[in-house]
Amino acid sequence: MNQDLTVVAILLGIIHQGIRLATPYLYAAIGEMFSQRSGVLNLGVEGIMLMGAFFGFYSVFQTGNVWLGVAAAAFVGLLMGLLMSVVSVTFKAQQGISGIGLYMFGLGASSLLFKTMLGSIQPVRGFQALRGCVGENFCMADIPVIGDIFFGYTALVYGAYLLVPIAWWVLNRSTWGLKIRAVGQNPEAADSLGVSVDAVRYASVMLGSMLAGIAGASLSIGLLNVFQEEMTNGIGFIAVALVYFGSWKPAGVLVGALLFSGVNALQLWAQVLRLNIPSDVAVMLPYLLTIIALALPFRRAMQPAALTKPFARGEG
C-alpha cells in the first residue's frame, strides 16, 4: 500500500516536472515555427536564448522586477532577430551558416557580459508559482493529487501553453498568418499579389527571435533562477528540430516539446531514484532522440516550399 503511494507520488512528480520543463522548448520552437513558415531557417536560436537568458537575469538581478526581465529578454531577442534578418533576408546569406554565426556571437557575447558584469554565479528571486490562492488560507495548488499539476506553475509556464492556440490562430485565421504562409510557400506568387516578401520575413524572424529571447529568460528567471555560461545546453538547437518534428504546426510542436521535456524529467527522476544509468548516457538521450525524430518519414511533405531559399525579385 505504502509502496503504491510512492509510485503515484513519483509519477505525479514526473508529470509536474515534464510540464514545467517544456516551457523553454515551447517558446523557442513556436517562435522558430513562425520564422520557418515564412521561409527563413533561423539556426541562431541557441545564441538568442543565451542573450535573452543573460539580459533577463541581469535586469531581475538589478531591479528585482521579473516582468522587466521578460521585457529585456524580449527586446534583446528582437535585436538579435533584426541582425539575423538583415543578414539572411536583405543580404540573402546562406541561412545555415548565418545561423551558426549568430549562435557563436550570442554564445561569446553572453559569456563576455556574464564575466564582466556579474563575475560569478548568483541566484535571483525569479518567477514564483501562482498556486491559485483564493483568500487567505486556501490555494488551488494544495488540492490533493491534482492540485500541483494544474496550479503549481509560474506565469511563464502558463504563457508558454497559451502561446500554442494563439500561434495556431495567428497562423491559420489572421491575414498576417496567411501572408506568412504565402511567403514561405510561394514567395513569387505572394510578391506578385503585392505582399512584401522581405517585410513579412523580417517580422516573422523578429517575432520568432523575441520568443527565443523569452525562452532564454524562462530558464534564467523562471526554471533555474541563475545565469551560467552556455546554460541553454542545446535547447535552442533541439527547438529548431522540434519544428521539423512537429510538421511546422503549433500542435505538433507542443507534442514534441512535451516528449522532450518528459525525457528530461524522467532523467532527473532516474538520478533521484539512483537508478543505475550512467549520467553521460542519460544526458545523451535527448540528442539521440532528436536525430531519430528528424529521421521519421511522415513529415517531409509539410515543409514550407521556400524554406532556406532567399527571395530576389526576378531571380526565382
Partner 1 sequence: MRKIRWNRRFFDRLVDILVPILAVLAAFLVGAVILWLQDVSPIEAYRAMLVGAFGTKNGLSDTLVKAIPLMLVGLGIAIAFRGGVINIGAEGQIIVGALLTTFVGVELVGDFPPVLAILIGLLAGAFMGGLWGAVPGYLKAKLGVNEILSTIMMNQIAIQIGYYLLRRPMLDPAELAAGTNIPQSARLGRALDLPRFTDVAQWLGVTRSAADLELDGYLGQLYGVLVEPSRLHTGLIFAIIMAILVYVLLWRTTLGYRIRAVGLSRSASEYAGIKVGRTMVLSMTLSGMFAGLAGAIEILGLHHRMFEPVAVSAGFGFSGIVAALFGKLHPLGIIPSSILFGGLLVGGDKMQRAMQIPQVMITAVLGLVVLFVVSTEYLVQRRATRRVSIDTSATEKEAVEDAIAIPTQETG
List residues binding partner 1 (CB under 8 A). 41, 43, 47, 83, 86-87, 91-94, 96-109, 111-112, 115-116, 229, 234, 237, 240-241, 244, 278, 280-281, 283-284, 287-288, 290-291, 294-295, 297, 300, 303, 307-308, 310
Q: How far is the CB of 118 from partner 1 (least distance, A)?
A: 12
Residues 6+ apart with CB under 8 A from 168: 249, 250, 251
Whether the CB-CB separation of 204 and 307 falls below 8 Å is answered with no
Residue 58 or 151: which CB sits closer to partner 1?
58
What are the C-alpha distances in Å from 120 to residues 58, 62, 113, 145, 226? 12, 15, 11, 39, 10
Residue 9 or 288: which CB sits closer to partner 1?
288
Residue 136 or 280: which CB sits closer to partner 1?
280
Amino acid of residue 187: P
Q: How far is CA 217 from the centre of its chain?
A: 10
Residue 9 or 117: which CB sits closer to partner 1?
117
Q: How far is the CB of 287 from partner 1 (least distance, A)?
A: 4
H helices, E strands: number in the chain? 12, 2
Q: How far is the CB of 3 from partner 1 (least distance, A)?
A: 32
Q: How far is the CB of 30 from partner 1 (least distance, A)?
A: 18
Closest CA to 38 of 315, 236, 305, 256: 305
Residue 33 or 66: which CB sits closer to partner 1?
33
Kindly state the DSSP code that residue 66 receives in the 8-state scheme.
Answer: H
Q: Which grid cell sits at 309? A: 531559399
Residue 64 or 96: which CB sits closer to partner 1?
96
Helix boundaries (H) for 231-314: 235-245, 250-272, 279-295
Whether the CB-CB separation of 93 and 201 falls below 8 Å is answered with no
Q: How far is the CB of 98 from partner 1 (least distance, A)?
A: 5
Q: How far is the CB of 91 from partner 1 (least distance, A)?
A: 4
Whether the CB-CB separation of 69 and 155 falls below 8 Å is answered with no
Using CA atoms, how far apart are residues 36 and 34, in angstroms rounded to an integer?
6
Residue 126 or 187: which CB sits closer to partner 1?
187
Q: How far is the CB of 37 from partner 1 (least distance, A)?
A: 13
Whether the CB-CB separation of 26 and 165 falls below 8 Å is answered with no
Q: How far is the CB of 161 from partner 1 (least distance, A)?
A: 25
Using CA atoms, how far apart are residues 152 and 147, in angstroms rounded to an integer?
7
Strands (E), 53-132: none
Residue 100 or 139: which CB sits closer to partner 1?
100
